Amino acid sequence: MEHPWNQAIDALSTVHVKSNPNNEPVTVSGDAGEFKCIGVGTDAAVFQNPSQPMYAYKIYDADKLDKVEVEASVYKQLGDSPYFPTCYAARGEVLVLSYESGTTLFDCILQGVHIPKQAVQDVEDARDYVRSKGLNPRDIHLKNILLQDGRAKIIDVSEYVLPGNDFRWEHLKRGYDQYYHLIDGSSVPFWLVETVRKWYNQTGEGSSYEEFTNKVMKFLFKK
């Protein structure tokens, strides 16, 4: 049986994704035709065809084919879950996923969209679910959590086979609990969010939350 995404994958063969150093977003080149790029991360870009809106096509850098296989295997291990998309297929550098609507928590901060406590609890519950499947919930951050009708959905599981705790989510949750009320409902300038994001990425895995937040508060106080 011909799956509906086979032709889509062939049509996307002219699209090339190239990763960049320093954890910066990938560079996308080539003609995507009627496909629309709906998301860009540090390892891949995601496309959608308006004529088949139920699917999302995650295209990796051709040098990262191992990540495609790993992520597909993680989705298989996670099984059916309300916390994650469905993975339908993996071919070459492309993963075929269920399209998930919603606003990333990163964009919620930029737009002043309220992030409810329920969404934060959903991520906590999702992490417990991941552990129950024998996986490690790493690399959970503002850009890979979607807000869907007040609930959270996590859209990147590629690091769940890696060991160790990168503390990204723990730090975000502490920041939410301690400081979110100060910006809730307000649009935060992109340059400020990006500055904080880049600083955090430069601090290294497992760095001190207190030192980082003190640096940010001193910067804001000077402003």
Query: For 142-187, how does the pLDDT look when each residue is reduced to its tens digit (9 = 90+)?
Result: 999 999 999 999 999 999 999 999 899 999 999 999 999 999 999 9
Instruction: Give the class (CATH, top level) of 103-222.
Output: mainly alpha
Q: How confident is the model at residue 62 (pLDDT cuts 50, 70, 90)?
A: confident
Indicate the pLDDT class of residue 216, thresholds 50, 70 and 90. Answer: confident
Least confident of 23-27, 102-106, 186-190: 23-27
Q: What are phi and psi of 97, to 5 degrees?
A: -120, 165
In angstroms and rounded to an integer, the radius of gyration of the C-alpha atoms of the chain is: 18
Strands 52-60 and 27-29: unpaired
Confidence label for 126 from pLDDT (cuts 50, 70 and 90) = very high
- In this prediction the pTM is 0.86
61 alpha-carbon distance from chain centroid: 16
Does residue 201 carry a pLDDT above 80? Answer: no
152's tokens: 């959270």
pLDDT at 118 over 70: yes
Question: For residue range 73-89, what is the model confidence (pLDDT) as tens digits?
Answer: 999 999 999 999 999 99
* pLDDT computed for residue 188 by the predictor: 93
Contact between 216 and 188 (Cβ < 8 Å): no
Fold of 5-98: Phosphorylase Kinase; domain 1 (3.30.200)
Compute CA 86 distance to the chain's CA centroid, rounded to the nearest angstrom: 15
The answer to whether the Cα torsion of 77, 80, 86, 89 is positive or negative is positive
State the Cα–Cα distance between residues 216 and 199, nearest whole angstrom: 9
Instruction: Name the residue ranges covered by the structural domains of the chain.
Output: 5-98, 103-222
Q: Which of 19, 54, 55 has its CA nearest to residue 40? A: 19
Q: What is the four-CA torsion angle of 30, 32, 36, 37, rounded to 10 degrees?
A: -30
Name residues whose C-beta falls within 8 Å of residue 121's C-beta, 6 or more positions apart in sequence: none
> Contact at 8 Å (CB) between 45 and 61?
no
pLDDT confidence of residue 138: 94
CA distance 160 to 136: 5
Torsion sign, CA atoms 112, 24, 152, 117: negative
Percent of the chain exceeding pLDDT 90 equals: 71
207: confidence class by pLDDT, cuts 50, 70, 90: low
Dihedral class, residue 202 (left if φ above 0, else alpha if ψ from -120 to 50, else beta): alpha
